[in-house]
Chains A and B, each alone.
Chain A
Amino acid sequence: MSNILEVNNLRVRFRVMSALKARYKGVTDPFIDAVRDASFSIKEAETFTLVGESGSGKSTLALAVAGLLPTAEGTINFAGKEVTTMDRSQMQEYRRNISFIWQNPTGSLSPRQRVSALITEPYIVHGMRDRDLNAEAIRLLKMVGLSAHFADRYPHQLSGGQARRVGVARALALNPKLIIADEPTAGLDVSVQGEILNLLNRLQDDLGVSIFVITHNLNIVRHISNRTAIMYLGRFAEQGFTDDIFESPRHPYTLALLSANPKPNPDADMERIELKGEVPGLMNRPSGCEFHTRCPFSAENCTEVVPPQIDVSDQHTLTCHYPRQENNTLSP
């Protein structure tokens, strides 16, 4: 199957002080890198998951892919077209083909609009007023498992799970090729989480849409995604098939993340890799390997040399000087 989205060496920078202030303070580089050297691709009808803690740059990457943030370097290629150099009308066309599911189920719905207006707005915006919008609203609601009477409700009258379903319905309206889902289960109860994930899985099977999931919830990743990338301070630590990542993680950060996840079993055997300290801010990015300040296995050259990206097996890549051995999680 061909790739629907290809991202190569993407770098997203934010200015942190004005040019004048930077000159006055003698700062030569008044920018921070929120995303650095990100390369990945998403195939048709597959789910790609980006995992990272807060401040790792995962949402920034998603917004850059959607064309909402300017990129500093690198390319974003969607179905053969370059996104970073698109003009206005090409961008409008691109936005017909991608859609977002937002982190905040209720807050991402315009509060003064009824559900029916919200989910049919994509048609109006993209010049498809000719169809019967009421019928479309009911069709979309049905697709996400809501009955027709929800069409007259306002966002604040919906529960978290219902608002999330409306968000999904809205994302589906234009029959997109790619859905970007930022924390699709945030703020939902465990029993409702399952419903939303099953819905996404089912829609993918039925419609063949690709899904790009951004999350920090490791528990859901293995049930929804084909391939996974782990992000730390704007850089991909490890990337590969989800099963490979979960069964034989090689990057120390991936290992720490997976082992930190508490299991719902009081007698679980917890062999933990505990990380020292906290995530450093993007303002003072550590030299060499970004992870060395917290890595339990860091050695001298980790503090100085940026680790290269290495391939360990089929499509399984990582950036580390001392990757862990396969299936032997705690010793190098």
Chain B
Amino acid sequence: MFALATVALVGPSLTTVIAVIIVTSIPTYGRVVRTQTLTIKASEFILAEQVMGVSTFRILSRHILPNVIGPLIILASMDIPTVIALEAGLSFLGMGVKPPTPSWGSILNDGYTLIRNTPWPIIAGSIPLVLITLGFTFLGESLRDLIDPKLRKNF
């Protein structure tokens, strides 16, 4: 709704769409980072680093960040499909990217106008959307496994 209202107010363009998407998804990331950091901050190994005289910057970059980044990457990779869908949604409603810049949403929109004649433009337009959604989800899971040594299966 927020996205629709903003675009309606400012007028559709590529920049607006990007800005709107950024503004709507940032709070989620903030929350995840905050809760993760708070949990990790309370663990004994952080206290151990402090006693050793490790600087706050080093604790943040070396010990907290690697533990926060995992959930963040999953969130991001799962968000890519959402964002694509959001853009497609906006473009479908004619509030997104303007032709001639191509967009899956506009393709679907074009297909929609032809739905009485043939379903193929809709099907062809949605297949890549479905594939890319699944693809990014799997990518996120593999990335998490790669980053977290506990989930690496090579020992």
Q: Using CB atoms and an 8 Å cutoff, list the residues of chain A in contact with chain B.
A: 66, 68, 91-92, 95-96, 98-100, 102-104, 107-113, 121-122, 125-126, 154, 156-157
Contact = CB atoms under 8 A, between A and B. Distances in A.
A45 B1 CA distance: 70
A95 B51 contact: yes
A123 to B, nearest CB: 11
A66 B49 CA distance: 12
Contacts of A113: 62-63
Contacts of A104: 44
A68 B148 CA distance: 30
B52 to A, nearest CB: 6
Contact of B49 (A91, A110, A111): A110
B100 interface: no
Nearest to B53: A95
A5 to B, nearest CB: 15
A156 B150 contact: yes
Which has the most chain B C-beta neighbours within 10 Å: A68, A95, A104, A110?
A110
Given A102-B44, A109-B45, A111-B45, A121 B149 contact: no
B126 interface: no
A98 B66 CA distance: 27
Given A111-B45, A111-B150, A125-B58, A92 B67 contact: no
Contacts of A121: 49, 52, 54
A204 to B, nearest CB: 20
Contacts of A102: 44, 47-48
Contacts of A98: 51
Q: How large is the interface on B (under 10, 10 to 19, 20 to 34, 35 or more residues)?
A: 20 to 34
Contact of B53 (A92, A107, A109): A92
Main secondary structure of the interface of B (DSSP, over half): helix
Interface of B: 43-45, 47-55, 58, 62-63, 66-67, 148-150, 155
A85 B108 CA distance: 70
Top 5 A-B pairs, shortest CB-CB distance: A95-B53, A112-B66, A154-B149, A108-B44, A108-B48
A303 B45 CA distance: 42
A107 B67 CA distance: 14
Given A102-B44, A125-B52, A156-B149, 19 more contacts: A68-B50, A95-B52, A96-B53, A102-B48, A107-B43, A107-B44, A108-B45, A109-B45, A110-B45, A110-B48, A110-B49, A110-B62, A112-B63, A113-B63, A121-B49, A121-B54, A125-B53, A156-B150, A157-B155
A136 to B, nearest CB: 15
B51 A66 contact: yes
Contact of B54 (A91, A100, A103, A125): A125
Contacts of B48: 100, 102, 108-110
B59 to A, nearest CB: 9
Contacts of B58: 125
Contact of B47 (A68, A111, A112, A154): A68
Nearest to A101: B48
Nearest to A100: B51
Nearest to B46: A110
8 contacts: A100-B52, A107-B43, A108-B45, A110-B45, A110-B49, A111-B149, A112-B63, A125-B52
A197 B67 CA distance: 32
A158 to B, nearest CB: 12
B26 to A, nearest CB: 25
Contacts of B148: 112
Nearest to B43: A107
Contacts of A157: 155
B94 to A, nearest CB: 47
Contact of A99 (B43, B51, B55): B51
A91 B53 contact: yes
Contacts of A68: 47, 50-51
Contacts of B155: 157
A135 to B, nearest CB: 20
Contacts of B52: 95, 99-100, 121-122, 125
Contacts of A95: 51-53
Contacts of B43: 107
Nearest to B48: A108
Which has the most chain B C-beta neighbours within 10 Å: A68, A112, A121?
A112
Nearest to A104: B44
A302 B130 CA distance: 77
A171 to B, nearest CB: 9
